[in-house]
Structure 1
Amino acid sequence: MKSFLWGICIFLSTITIAQAQITQDATRLLRVHEDDDFFNFWGRGTDRAYTNGTCFGYVYMKKKKSSFIDKWIFPTAGPNSINVFEWDGMQLMFTPDDLSDRKFIPGDFYYSAAVVATHGLTSYNPVKKYRIHSELVFGIMGPWALGEQAQTFVHNLLGDQPPRGWANQLPNAPLLNYNISYERMLWHPRPSLEVIGGFSASAGTMIDAVSTWGYARFGLINPYFGDPDLHTATRRKFQLYLMARPQFSITAYNALLQGGLFRSSDADFEEHRKLQTSHMNPFIIGMDYGFVIGIGRTTISYTQQTSSPWMSTTRKHSFGNITLLIPISKATHFP
C-alpha cells in the first residue's frame, strides 16, 4: 500500500507545488491541505517527527467592510488593498522514530497532537507590491486532540506498524496564538521571474518564534501581489512554475515539542521531562522547493519542505505538502 501511495505522491509532484499566491478573480474557495513526512520527492518517506497535518479551509473575499475582530486585529495593506479572508481547521501530529516501543523514548520527539482552528486575513497591495498576512489560532493539544485515534486508524487502514506509544503523549492544554507575516517584492526583472523577501512573528501559548525567508519563482506566472487591473492580474489561465524558499527561524517556545500551558502540573510529563535527553533546537534553517500548476481558478500544488533537526538528538527532517484550491464561486473582482 505504501508503494502505491508513494506512486501517487510522485505523480502529483510532477504536476504541482504549494504556495500562497493571490487568486484575485475567485471570491470563494475550498482549500484541502495535507502535510505528511511520507510524501517525498526521492521516495525516502518516513513516519516520525512532524508526521502529519491535515487541514480543510474556506477562503473568501467580501464586499462589506470588516468589523469586530477582523477590523481590529487584522491589518490591511492600504486603502485599496485586495483582502482575502480564511477559516481553517487542522489536526497536527508529532511522533518519535520508533512507533513500536510502548515506553517513553528520552532522546526523541514526544508523542503530541493538536487540533486548531484559524481565522485570518491576507491583504495584498498590488501597487506597492507587498502583502500582510495575520491570523488568530485557537484550539487544544493532548489526548483531547485525538492524535492516537487518527494515526491508529490510518495505519490500520494501510496495514502499517500500529503506533504503540501514545500513552506517553504530552498532556492536554489550550492553544491560542497570534501570527503575522510580511512579504515584499525584491526583484522582478521579467514577467516570468519574481524574487520576494519576507519575515514573520508568532506569539501565544502554541509557539513563540520569528522567521525570515527569500522566495523565488520562475515560469508561467500571474503577478504574486495581484494587479489593479483584473485582466493583467489573471492574464494567464494556465500557470506552471518552479519555486524555492530558503528560510531561517528562531523559536523560543513550541508547545507541541515542549509541552503546553499546564505541563508542570502533570505528573507523567514531569517524570518524562526528567528523563528527556533531547531538547528543542531554537535555530532552524530550511528549504522549501517544488512547483505549481494553476488551471483557471483551480490550483494544485506540491511542496517538499526540509529543515535542520528540530530536536537536538534527532536527524534533519523532510515532509511533503499537497494543497488543492477549488473555486466555488463565479469569477468576481472586489476592488
Structure 2
Amino acid sequence: MSAFKSAISKVVLGSILLSPAVAQADGWDGWDGWTVNLATENDMFGSENDRHYTHGTRLSFAPPEGEVADWMRDAATYFPLFSDQGKLRASYALGQNLYTPSDISITDPNEMDRPYAGWLYGSFGLVSDLGDRIDTLELTVGVVGPASLGEQTQKYVHKLVDSPDPKGWDHQLKNEPGIVLTYERKIRRFLTLDTGLHGLEIDATPHAGLSLGNIFTHAEVGTMFRMGWDLDKDRGGPPRIRPSLPGSDYYSKSDGFGWYLFAGVAGRAVGRNIFLDGNSFTSSYDADKKHFVADAQVGIALRYDDFRLAYTQIIRTKEFKDQQKPDRYGAITLSYQF
C-alpha cells in the first residue's frame, strides 16, 4: 500500500510538473498568476458535536488561465458533456477526510452507527469557462483505510487541543484504493439583480453534477445565491471539499476590500458512499445509508487585493437510517493569488 500512496503523490505532482507553466522553464514566470487555496472543514465550527464527517482538509493549486498540459486537454475530449471551447484552467489538489461514529469514547463502535474511516487523496481537474457556463471535470485517486493516516491525524489533533482520545480506530474500514470521476456544470449568474445601491448585486448560479467511482457515486443538483459587490470577479464562491455545493479554485483580484454573502441548497441521489456502505471487496463495518441527502449552507466571503477569506456553515440531512439528527459543521477557506 505504501507503493500506492507513492503513486498518488506522483500523479498529482507529476500533473503539476507537466503543466506548461512548469515544464517550459524558459517561459515560466515562477508562481505569478497561480492561486492557492487551503480549505478546512470541521464539526467543531458552529457545532457541539464530534462525529460523522468530523474533519476535512484540502490544499489546491490553480495555474494561470490557459496553462494546461496537452494531455489534460486531450483526455477531456473523450468526455462528451465537457466543452473545451471556453477559457481553460487546470487545478491540482491534495486532501484528507475523516469520518467517525457518534461516540468516539468506546473501543467497540456501535454497529448501527457509521464506521471509522479516512480518505487520503490527490486530484487534478480541468475547468472550461464559457462565460455564461462553467464545465468542470475532475479525477480523484486515493486510499481508504489505515494507509489514509486518518487515525494518526485525529489522535494528534485531539491531543493538541486536549480533546477526548478516539478509541475505535482499530475497527476502521480496511485499505482500499479509490477513484472518483466528477463532472459538474454551472449556469453562471443565471439570474442577476442590480439593487442600485452603489453596485450591490444579487445573483443565482444553478448547478448539476455527477460523480462515479468506488468511493462516491451520486448525482447532484442545486443553486447558489450571492449578494455583494464585484460578484463577477469570483467564479462561483469559495472552494469546498466534495461532496458539497461547488465553488471555485480561482478568482480575479480585487481593488481594495470587497465582500459578499452567499447561501445555497443542493440535493444528491446517492448510489454509493464507501464511508457508509463499507469496503467494496471485503467485509467491514457499514451503515444503512439513505439514498437522498441534502445540504444547505450560508456564509460570507471577504476579499482584499490578492486574498480571499470565507466562512461557511453547513447543515447536512441524515445520511444513514439510524442517524439521530442532521449534521452541522463549518468550513474556513483562505485563498491567495500570486
Q: TM-score range by the shorter chain?
A: 0.7 to 0.9
Equivalences for residues 68-147 of structure 1 within 5 A: 68-73=71-76, 77=83, 79=85, 81-126=86-131, 129-147=132-150
CA distance in 2, matches of 1:225, 1:160: 38
Distance 1:235 1:326, change over 3 A: closer
**DSSP-derived class of the 1:69 partner:** helix
Higher RCO (C-alpha 8 Å, min separation 6)? 1
CA distance in 2, matches of 1:216, 1:33: 20
CA distance in 2, matches of 1:206, 1:167: 21
Match of 2:168 among 141, 165, 170: 165
Distance 1:195 1:170, change over 3 A: same
**DSSP-derived class of the 1:167 partner:** helix
Equivalences for residues 224-243 of structure 1 within 5 A: 224-225=234-235, 237-243=256-262
Q: Which residue of 2 aligns with 1:303?
A: 312
Percent identity between the two aligned chains? 22
Structure 1 residues 49-94: Cα deviation after superposition (integer angstroms, max 9, x where no partner): 0000011121112545641134322776553x23221111101110
Distance 1:65 1:285, change over 3 A: closer
**DSSP-derived class of the 2:231 partner:** coil
Equivalences for residues 280-291 of structure 1 within 5 A: 280-291=289-300
Structure 1 residues 142-177: Cα deviation after superposition (integer angstroms, max 9, x where no partner): 011111111001111111100000011011101011
Q: What TM-score do you get using the length of structure 2 for normalisation? A: 0.78
CA distance in 2, matches of 1:35, 1:50: 9
Q: Does 1:154 align with 2:157?
A: yes
CA distance in 2, matches of 1:246, 1:30: 26
Q: Which residue of 1 aligns with 2:178?
A: 175
Match of 2:212 among 203, 206, 209: 203
Q: Does 1:327 align with 2:333?
A: no
Q: Does 1:38 align with 2:51?
A: no
Equivalences for residues 255-274 of structure 1 within 5 A: 255-264=274-283, 269=284, 272=285
Distance 1:326 1:234, change over 3 A: closer
Equivalent residue pairs, number: 281
Amino acid at match of 1:249: R
Q: Does 1:187 align with 2:187?
A: no
Structure 1 spans left out of the alignment, 5+ residues: 1-25, 227-232, 329-335
CA distance in 1, matches of 2:74, 2:309: 31
Kindly indicate whether the alpha-carbon contact (under 8 Å) linking 2:231 and 2:260 is maintained by their aligned counterparts in 1: no
Kindly indicate whether the alpha-carbon contact (under 8 Å) linking 1:77 and 1:130 is maintained by their aligned counterparts in 2: no
Match of 2:303 among 289, 294, 300: 294
Alpha-carbon deviation of 1:257?
1.8
CA distance in 2, matches of 1:235, 1:323: 17
Amino acid at match of 1:150: T
CA distance in 2, matches of 1:35, 1:70: 31
Kindly indicate whether the alpha-carbon contact (under 8 Å) linking 1:124 and 1:131 is maintained by their aligned counterparts in 2: yes
CA distance in 2, matches of 1:234, 1:143: 41
